[in-house]
Structure 1
Amino acid sequence: MFKVLRDWIQRYFSDEEAVVLAVLLVVAFTAVLTLGGMLAPVLAGMVLAFLMHGMVSFLERLRLGERLSVSLVFALFMGALGLFLLVLVPLLWRQMIGLFNELPGMLAKWQSLLLLLPERYPQLVSDEQVLQAIDVARGEIGRFGQWALTFSLSSLPLLVNLMIYLVLVPILVFFFLKDRRMIGAWVSGYLPRERALLTQVAQVMNRQIANYIRGKVIEIVVCGVVTYIAFVLLGLNYAALLALLVGISVVVPYVGAVVVTVPVAFIALFQWGWSDQFIYLMVVYGIIQTLDGNVLVPLLFSEAVNLHPVAIICAVLLFGGLWGFWGIFFAIPLATLFKAVLDAWPRREPLVAPLL
């Protein structure tokens, strides 16, 4: 047993860089797990600065200067943040309140429709099944209402945390952009001089993960805006709220599009019933999803993430369970980083006895 363990360590950890990389990964993973809640504004600032780093580099290549480039990108970021807070958030809040007020009416309408099923399809659906489904729906809506009431009563700490984020995150983004070279040199000072393995992994991470994250943000914005315009033109209620759900759904591969279709279809059915308007909406929604999967995604992600679908689903479940929404958002980049580390990891081939 000890010989097997010793041979395994000599095979995979005989290189000094491999040991350093393993220690860095363990320390970073442990720090995020244990201190992620306290350092959440710092991590959010790092992610946002990482997203805007490409734009700053592009402006610097145009010879605008470092300070001017950082100032322009930061001003654009603050303008987008102000637009989101002053325009989009109030609109979403009004639509959410309206949806909560109409939930009892929706439940009553769906209850009357469900009660007609045993009369039309007695061989498929019984009265007991319909009543049981109605009781389950009432229980779920009751628990949701209780959660909403509890959330509203305990929203003061959430508002305080939100104000802290709104103050700290922009400041951190500015300094991460302005002093990125100084911070990089400071971190490099604690790394070994010979770091070919770390450089190789960093290059893969910067090439694939950066492109993925920036592409995913662009995909969220494009899908949300296009869906909102289509829903408004078709006259669907709660267009902004549903468009936000459609935009966020692209974060979760394979599952998000299917899950978000349910509220879109339910609200459309409540508004129009089985009418031509409902069919038009679902056709337009299907076209948007098709264009997203077959045109926008290949265009944004020129370098395909070479991961098996099973690996992607496992990464979403694992990191989503650990870090919630942000874990789901970064599941594929983290899985890509893990694969890059495995591919670049130095190893000694086991000795094979010569054949006689």
Structure 2
Amino acid sequence: MAEPPIDEPHIERPGPAEFRDPLVRRELQKAAVWFGMALAIAGVIVLAQPLLLILGGIIFAVFLDGGARLLGRALPIARGWRLLLTIVLGFGFIGWVFWFAGTTIAAQAETLRIVVTAQFHRVVEFASSLGLLPKGQASTVGAQLLGSVGRLTSAVGSAIGAVTSVIAMIVIGIFLAAEPRIYDRGIAWMLPLRARTGFYRIAEHVGFTLRRLLFGRLVGMLFEGIFTWFMLMLGGVPMAALLGLVTGLLAFIPNIGAITSGLLMVAVGFSAGPTQGVWAIFVYFFVQNIDGYLVVPYIARRTVDLAPAIVLAMQLLMGALFGILGILFADPILASLKVVLIDLSRRQPAKHGEPAEAD
């Protein structure tokens, strides 16, 4: 009679509660990473508005820090006094602009809205006469587009909300610029010790790049605003001061700002006559070419060279996700990301004993 088969010994394998096993710990680490990424994405979506306000405060702090450093080259005083002087001079200049031209610009702003609306309806009617739009629906299309602009403007926020947001960014920026080292050390404290040196290095590089980039933006804004006002005034284009101010402000937004200010400029020019309209077109291309071939390249050589197509794509993406604030901050965010990636790519070969690539 055959003997029954002997059962093989059962091998116990670790279960999900056995955290000492290396396999379980490795899988838990992977799951924690993916769960953390999901929480981070959800947090960015839900907290988009306050995050953008904090980012705006950081950018304003970079402005103030750059001004304090610039004054330090000429004034051998403490950094706190230089920062206070920068704040007083900056807000003093803004107050002087609004006081000097406030009444005129306020009166011209309503006129500009009426002129742009009338010129827009003319363009729509012209397109309808060419058969590009169905006849009889030109006014409907114009009302829909202008209504969309109105809804977009109202979606940005009320006047009180906008003022509150600006005040919040200013306060955050002043606190950050007053004692930046405290906040750097606070963020570094949450990182492992081995990563803190790299964080300080990258933070210094990002701050240096943003100071140069924003200083270049200010130079471009002043150049475009003053030069546009002067050239339009020479050509007899109405509302030259307002158009110069709008052009200077929109120059902070690469690509999109130039196109918007150009459309406004040409619309106002043709409202005064064909000669003024042609002159407005000439002024637009003349100013943009000087800014694009002289001012911007000089600034780009001293900061981060960003391709225009990448900047425009970033603006469209940030605008779709976060609205007008996303468009405003797309350029600094892209520059910061590029600096971080370049720094990390240079340090990676050094960890493996390979020579870093030259610029």
TM-score surpassing 0.5? yes
2:208 — aligned with what? 207
Counterpart in 2 of 1:191? 191
* Match in the other structure for 1:14: none
Which residue number corresponds to residue 68 of structure 2?
56
Superposed, which structure 2 residues align to 1:192-341 within 5 Å?
192-194=192-194, 195-254=196-255, 256-273=257-274, 275=275, 277-303=276-302, 305-341=304-340
Please report how far the alpha carbon of residue 226 of structure 1 lies from its aligned counterpart in structure 2 after TM superposition. Answer: 1.8
| Secondary structure in structure 2 of the residue aligned to 1:129 | coil
Matched residues in 2 for 1:42 and 1:192: separation?
Answer: 24
Residues 46, 176 of structure 1: 8 Å contact kept: yes
Q: Structure 2 residue aligned with 1:83, among 81, 96, 102?
A: 96
How far has the Cα of 1:54 moved from its partner?
1.6
Q: Percent identity at matched positions? A: 21
Number of the residue aligned with 1:173: 173
Deviations 1:59-83 (A, max 9, x none): 3453211231122111112213423
Q: Is the contact between residue 250 and residue 257 of structure 2 (CA under 8 Å) also seen in structure 1?
A: yes
Q: 1:149 to 1:85 in 2, by over 3 A?
A: same
Identify the match of residue 46 of structure 1 among 23, 40, 58: 58
Residue 64 of structure 2 aligns with an amino acid whose one-letter code is M
Distance 1:269 1:308, change over 3 A: closer
Q: Does 1:67 align with 2:80?
A: yes
What amino acid is the match of 1:66?
R
Aligned partners of 1:111 and 1:134 also within 8 Å? no
Contact 1:249 1:257 in 2 (8 A): yes
Find the aligned partners of 1:146 and 1:54 in 2 and give their Cα distance.
41
8 Å CA contact retained: 1:95, 1:240: no
Kindly report the root-mean-square deviation, in angstroms, between the aligned alpha carbons of the 2 structures: 4.0
- Report how far residue 87 of structure 1 moved: 4.7
Residue identity in the other structure for 1:129: G
The TM-score normalised by the length of structure 1 is 0.70
Cα offset, 1:321, TM superposition: 1.9
Cα gap change, 1:339/1:146 in structure 2, threshold over 3 Å: closer, same or farther?
closer
Aligned to 1:97: 110
In the alignment, residue 325 of structure 2 is paired with which amino acid? W
3-state DSSP class of the match of 1:302?
A: helix
Aligned residues: 313
Letter in 2 for 1:312: V
For residue 227 of structure 1, report the CA deviation from its aligned partner.
Answer: 0.9
**Aligned residue type for 1:180:** P
Post-superposition CA distance 1:226-246 (Å, at most 9, x none): 212222332212324433443
Of 305-314 and 47-56, more deviation after overlay is shown by: 305-314
Are 2:48 and 1:36 equivalent residues in the alignment?
Answer: yes
1:142 and 2:155 are equivalent in the alignment: no
* Offset of residue 191 of structure 1: 2.9
Give the secondary structure class of the aligned counterpart of 1:64: coil
Matched, 1:161 2:174: no
Spell out, residue by residue over 1:207-244, the C-alpha distance to the aligned partner (whole angstroms, 9 max, x if none): 32331122113312321222122223322123244334
Q: Which amino acid aligns with 2:211?
A: A
Greater Cα radius of gyration, structure 1 or 2 = 2
Q: Unpaired segments of 5 or more residues in structure 2?
A: 1-33, 353-359
d(CA) in 2 for partners of 1:286, 1:186: 48
**Alpha-carbon distance in 1 for matches of 2:89, 2:112:** 33
- Normalising to structure 2: TM-score of the pair? 0.70
Indicate if the aligned counterparts of 2:57 and 2:173 stay in contact, CA closer than 8 A.
Answer: yes
Match of residue 129 from structure 1: 131
Say if 1:27 and 1:341 are closer, same or farther in 2 by CA, change over 3 A. Answer: farther
Relative distance call for 1:169 and 1:223 in structure 2 (3 A) is same
Partners of 1:135 and 1:269 in 2: CA distance: 24
CA separation of 1:192/1:87 partners in 2, compared to 1, >3 Å: closer, same or farther?
A: farther
**Greater CA deviation, 305-314 or 217-226?**
305-314
